[in-house]
């Protein structure tokens, strides 16, 4: 069963609006058991839109289009659909009544004349009620194929999708729906190439209908397992089989799944062990603190942070020795250790993480170029450990990677 998404709008192509509709449709259709084979974005150009309609309708069982259903001159999707299917337009009185009632509820004395066009429906299309706006969706089903047109406003598209489209697809294509299951494992502390070497050739262990994707980002590489099976139980078994192989080969670097980011796992592990955490942050500016406190339950394990951006704060608030800063500099192993130990002293926690470095774009020297960052982990009665990072990903990604490296250092300590 081939399904295609077409999103329409110049605003999507020029980057003015992020295409959240395609992402939402992909998630919802996958959960239903429908595989999306292709997604295309087209500008507000009638010729280009018609070309995409011809190609998609020829190759797919289901075509879902979003955008271009508004009342203004640049909303041309409905006219393009009518032209493509050679369908005459007719006023749909129940829809017109619904549109008028919506304007009345919003306090308008009369409905603008321009909105009458939203009640015009191409023949052999069924209007889909829009409870969040004035533009109804449109649906045409013939000879086993379905063409659906939805508004581009996300809240309206999502409402019609849930109330009308998904029930229709589930009912109409019941015998063709697959059990599609995804599971994403999260890794950190290893690059994409090195991770691929540890896992080996996926072709050796992947069965038909199952894929493995490597998805790198600033905080680590995600491993997404996707399988298509005849039943949910079979899909679950296949995903579990592949996950076991991945964990056997790269388990040291796998810390959780998409449902449990690293900071959530840290909060969980600290709570289970009855331990507390504090942070001392320089170049990350409180990023670790923000990540931790975004997690439910953080208040039970996290005491607080000192954002020691200036050297005077490092000295006065966290006890970094002036001679340490003078001899080794703010970006050094020695300073990172003293920052973490100072947080232990000041905040009285079982563990403390510190970060100090040069995130960029300026501030680097030949001896300490941009991206030089030190992270340290301290705990009472144990030697403070420190790690040097040499990053080159830009200011934002450097800070994200440094925060992630600190949390991963703590995770490994808690996992012992």
Q: What is the pLDDT of residues 196-255, one digit of tens each?
A: 999 999 999 999 999 999 999 888 999 999 999 989 999 999 999 999 999 999 999 999
∠ CA(205), CA(37), CA(24), 5° rounding? 105
What distance in Å separates the CA atoms of residue 281 and residue 262, rounded to the nearest whole number? 18
CA atoms within 13 A on the CB side of 260: 11
* Res 258 pLDDT > 90: no
Distance between CA atoms of residues 169 and 237, nearest Å:
26
Number of H helices, E strands in the chain: 15, 17
Rounded Cα distance between 335 and 318, Å, is 10
**Which residues are CB-neighbours of 13 under 8 A, at least 6 positions away?**
41, 43
Whether the per-residue pLDDT at 392 is higher than 80: the answer is yes
The span from the CA of 65 to the CA of 87, in Å, is 17
Q: Checking phi first, is residue 398 left (phi over 0); if not, alpha (psi -120 to 50) or beta?
A: alpha
Report the b/e string of 238-256 with b at 16+ CB within 10 A. bbeebbebbeebbeebbbb
pLDDT digits (tens, 9 = 90+) for 287-344: 999 999 999 999 999 999 999 999 999 999 999 999 999 999 999 999 999 999 999 9
Q: How far is CA 13 from the centre of its chain?
A: 20
Residue 75: what pLDDT? 86
Residue 385: how many other CB atoms lie within 10 Å: 16
How much is the pLDDT for 72?
A: 85
> Domains of the chain, with CATH numbers?
3-176 (3.40.980.10), 185-257 (3.30.70.2860), 262-414 (3.90.950.20)
Please state, for a pLDDT cut of 90, what percent of the chain lies above it. Answer: 93
Q: Are strands 220-229 and 210-217 parallel, antiparallel or unpaired?
A: antiparallel
CB contact at 8 A, 119 and 91: yes
Percent of the chain beyond pLDDT 70? 100
Cα 78 to its chain centre, rounded Å, is: 31
């Amino acid at each position: 069963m081939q399904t295609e998404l077409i999103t329409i709008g110049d605003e999507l192509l020029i980057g003015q609006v992020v295409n959240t509709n395609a992402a939402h449709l992909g998630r919802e259709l996958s959960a239903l058991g429908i595989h999306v084979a292709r997604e295309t974005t087209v500008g507000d150009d009638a010729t280009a839109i018609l070309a995409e309609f011809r190609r998609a309708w020829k190759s797919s069982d289901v075509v879902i289009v979003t955008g271009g259903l508004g009342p203004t001159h640049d909303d041309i999707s409905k006219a393009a659909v009518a032209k493509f299917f050679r369908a005459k337009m007719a006023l749909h009185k129940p829809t017109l009544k619904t549109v008028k009632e919506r304007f009345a509820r919003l306090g308008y004395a009369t409905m603008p004349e321009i909105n009458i066009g939203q009640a015009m429906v191409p023949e052999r299309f069924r209007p889909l009620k829009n409870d969040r706006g004035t533009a109804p969706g449109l649906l045409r089903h013939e000879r086993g194929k379905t063409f659906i047109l939805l508004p581009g406003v996300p809240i309206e598209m999502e409402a019609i999708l849930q109330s009308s489209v998904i029930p229709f697809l589930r009912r109409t294509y019941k015998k063709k729906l697959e059990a599609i299951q995804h599971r994403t494992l999260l890794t950190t502390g290893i690059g994409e190439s090195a991770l691929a070497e540890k896992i080996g050739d996926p072709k050796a262990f992947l069965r038909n209908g199952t894929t493995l994707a490597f998805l790198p980002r600033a905080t680590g590489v995600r491993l997404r397992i996707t399988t298509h099976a005849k039943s949910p139980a079979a899909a679950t078994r296949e995903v579990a089989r592949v996950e076991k192989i991945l964990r056997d080969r790269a388990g040291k670097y796998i810390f959780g799944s998409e449902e449990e980011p690293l900071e959530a796992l840290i909060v969980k592990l600290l709570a289970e062990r009855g331990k507390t955490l504090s942070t001392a942050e320089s170049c990350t500016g409180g990023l670790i603190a923000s990540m931790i406190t975004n997690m439910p339950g953080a208040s039970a394990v996290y005491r607080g942070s000192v954002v020691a951006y200036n050297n005077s704060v490092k000295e006065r608030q966290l006890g970094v020795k002036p001679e340490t800063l003078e001899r080794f500099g703010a970006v050094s192993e020695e300073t990172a250790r003293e920052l973490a130990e100072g947080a232990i002293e000041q905040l009285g926690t079982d563990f403390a993480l510190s970060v100090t470095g040069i995130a960029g774009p300026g501030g680097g020297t030949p001896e300490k170029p941009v991206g030089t960052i030190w992270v340290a982990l301290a705990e009472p009665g144990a030697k403070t450990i420190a790690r040097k990072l040499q990053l080159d990903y830009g200011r934002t990604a450097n800070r994200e990677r440094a925060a992630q490296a600190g949390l991963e250092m703590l995770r490994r300590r808690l996992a012992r």
